[in-house]
Amino acid sequence: MATILHRFNRLRLRYAFQLSSHAVSSTTAAERAKGDRVFLGCQTLCRQHRGISGGAGEVRCLPSAAPPRLPFSCVTDEDLAFFRQLLPGRAITDPDMLESSNVDWLKSVRGNSEVLLRPRTTEEVSQILRYCNERNLAVSPQGGNTGLVGGSVPVFDEIILSTALMNQVLAFDGVSGILTCQAGCVLESLSQLLEERDFIMPLDLGAKGSCHIGGNVATNAGGLRLLRYGSLRGTVLGLEAVLASGQVLNCLATLRKDNTGYDLKQLFIGSEGTLGVITAVSILCPRKPRAVNVAFLGCSSFQNLLETFQCCRGMLGEILSAFEFLDASCMGLLEKHLKLTNPITECPFYIVIETAGSNAAHDEEKLHNFLEKVMASSLVTDGTVATEDAKIKALWSLRERVTEALTHDGFTYKYDISLPVEKIYQLVTDMRQHLGDRAKNVVGYGHVGDGNLHLNITSPTKDPALLAAIEPYVYEWTAAVQGSVSAEHGLGLKKRNYIYYSKTPEAVGLMGNIKAMLDPRGILNPYKTLPDDLRLPSTPTRPSPMTSGHPQPLQDPPR
């Protein structure tokens, strides 16, 4: 812990130094006036308080706040003319049309971009990036804009590069189950297409109706099926990405095994658009299970829930496809804000178990035996089981709609933490005690099977004092048990400076070198993922790299 605190103090010092020397952005009064419509993130707070260093009224910004704008070029009329010629009718500058792309889904982060580009092809993406790289224009790639860490919207005036029109399915092989498609395909559309062909997507998440598969891959999305089908690092077989230079990197293989050299696609999975723009993916899809059952159970303690999990893994084995939980506070929010009904008697903890298998009779027997055992031993106090689609969806919505219920409860501080499974609820209990009555609600839910807790703390309004009580407490608690401060949401803008709680300085340094190698000018999704102390300097005079057939290594140090 001492080392972690030391690292963090060092980080804060560096950060404070940056703040005191930063160039204030040009937020207008009109833009600020929009603030009452949205919950504004810390970076807006910083931007509104000019002259941050010293004096009365100083606002001490958190590491999640935006850093100063880097000296990228600003979009000129000449740039717009280029984009309009390249993308007729698809280079958007109308502020009303830009609005939804400038603000994240949680309305917690607002950018100020004046250009939204909607390419249809990889070649168009390549031309856009080649141009932007040469002109030193920053680019914020955007899929369905459903991210939770401010990674999918611009921070300042970055050009928004949307994959919304890149929504073509390129191939599906019904023998191997391998799907190849453009990055902008919506996850739910792909699921529907596959279900008709007796397959399913290997991932599923609450945002499926909006999120793009390219964004899923770029953020290494986890979701509800990871327990069964593993992470995208195993199921994504290939991808195509456009580098900052405009160079197209075609790694779009459709093979389960390929050990010919380094696995470059892994660089782009989970790098949140900072190393390249993913334009297409190929993904291995499992067969659609013939039988699906969902059980919604109640437990009187988290210890009982953990024992139920252990028993479940043994007795349901290969048919277990999800083991999720929510606490009583989550259920209260679902009832209060979304008028959902608790299908069982009130309990401190609720479990959603899903089975998916090839033989309905076998699966029902396994589930029956399991339920009999956990009820007889009082591990589970009440429960209900669904086998029909409509009831399955209703039970799942109790778990999937917690995020939505929270948005109605006030300002929400969100944490997505990986922990050793036996510790995942202790953090909620400790946080509740730590905050006392300063928080409105402290709730926990998430993926027990993956050791992944979603800790959410609500407050009637944004409350810097509450935030100061939460952070760095939550990160220190996590680091002390070797957890991850971002299990599946990524780092984006909001969490970038907390990376040292989960990664060593050597590892972060190497990440910086990779960024410098692939995006030497740092135009791709700046201010995201990597911490501010690794920020690459903008070097407008540096020649554009990697324009020849073979990429050239960086010739200047990145810092």
549 sits near a copy of itself (criterion: CB under 8 A) = yes
Rounded-to-integer distance, Cα 28 and Cα 9, Å: 34
Choice from 275, 347, 442, 493 touching a copy of itself (CB under 8 A)? 275
Edge to edge, what strands does the sheet with 116-117 contain?
91-92, 116-117, 159-162, 139-142
Subset of residues 414 to 433 that bind a copy of itself, contact rule: CB under 8 A:
418-422
Subset of residues 215 to 244 that bind a copy of itself, contact rule: CB under 8 A:
219-220, 222, 226, 230-231, 233-235
Q: Let me know the angle formed at the C-alpha of 79 by 48 and 273, rounded to the nearest 5 degrees.
A: 65
250 sits near a copy of itself (criterion: CB under 8 A) = yes
258 sits near a copy of itself (criterion: CB under 8 A) = yes
Question: Considering only 40-48, 294-302, 306-314, 344-352, which stretch makes contact with a copy of itself by CB under 8 A?
Answer: 306-314
Q: Least distance from C-beta 185 to a copy of itself, angstroms?
A: 21
User: How many Cβ atoms are within 10 Å of 135's Cβ, its own excluded?
Assistant: 19
Subset of residues 282 to 301 that bind a copy of itself, contact rule: CB under 8 A:
287, 289-290
Choice from 161, 285, 316, 331 touching a copy of itself (CB under 8 A)? 316
Rounded-to-integer distance, Cα 38 and Cα 31, Å: 11
Which is nearest to 63 in space by CA: 461, 503, 472, 413?
Answer: 472
Q: Least distance from C-beta 422 to a copy of itself, angstroms?
A: 6
Q: Least distance from C-beta 236 to a copy of itself, angstroms?
A: 10
Rounded-to-integer distance, Cα 160 and Cα 52, Å: 28
Subset of residues 321 to 380 that bind a copy of itself, contact rule: CB under 8 A:
356-359, 362, 365-366
How many residues would you count in the chain?
Answer: 559
173 sits near a copy of itself (criterion: CB under 8 A) = yes
C-beta closer to a copy of itself: residue 6 or 336: 6
CB contact set of 52 (below 8 Å; sequence gap of 6+) = 19, 20, 22, 46, 58, 59, 61
Question: Considering only 98-106, 327-335, 379-387, 413-421, which stretch makes contact with a copy of itself by CB under 8 A?
Answer: 413-421
C-beta closer to a copy of itself: residue 298 or 520: 520
3-state secondary structure of 277: strand
C-beta closer to a copy of itself: residue 241 or 380: 241
269 sits near a copy of itself (criterion: CB under 8 A) = yes
267 sits near a copy of itself (criterion: CB under 8 A) = yes
Q: Least distance from C-beta 118 to a copy of itself, angstroms?
A: 26
CB 251 within 8 A of CB 241: yes
3-state secondary structure of 321: strand
3-state secondary structure of 322: strand
395 sits near a copy of itself (criterion: CB under 8 A) = no
Which value, in Å, is the radius of gyration of the alpha carbons in the chain?
24
C-beta closer to a copy of itself: residue 256 or 393: 256
Tokens of 118: 């909607």
C-beta closer to a copy of itself: residue 161 or 316: 316
Q: Least distance from C-beta 464 to a copy of itself, angstroms?
A: 25
C-beta closer to a copy of itself: residue 5 or 264: 264
C-beta closer to a copy of itself: residue 273 or 439: 273
Which is nearest to 527 in space by CA: 7, 3, 72?
Answer: 72
Q: Least distance from C-beta 434 to a copy of itself, angstroms?
A: 23
Q: Least distance from C-beta 156 to a copy of itself, angstroms?
A: 22
- Is the preceding peptide bond at 420 cis, omega within 30 degrees of 0? no
Subset of residues 472 to 511 that bind a copy of itself, contact rule: CB under 8 A:
482-491, 495, 498-499, 501-511
Q: Least distance from C-beta 443 to a copy of itself, angstroms?
A: 20
Subset of residues 38 to 97 that bind a copy of itself, contact rule: CB under 8 A:
none
The amino acid present at 379, given as its one-letter code, is L
- How many Cα atoms are found within 13 Å in the side-chain-facing hemisphere of 16? 11
Edge to edge, what strands does the sheet with 349-357 contain?
382-386, 291-299, 349-357, 320-327, 441-447, 452-459, 411-418
Q: Least distance from C-beta 552 to a copy of itself, angstroms?
A: 6
C-beta closer to a copy of itself: residue 129 or 356: 356
170 sits near a copy of itself (criterion: CB under 8 A) = no
Question: What residue has token string 């941050």?
Answer: 52
Question: What residue has token string 């500058």?
Answer: 93
C-beta closer to a copy of itself: residue 264 or 480: 264
CB 443 within 8 A of CB 330: yes
Q: H or E stretch including 310?
A: helix 302-316
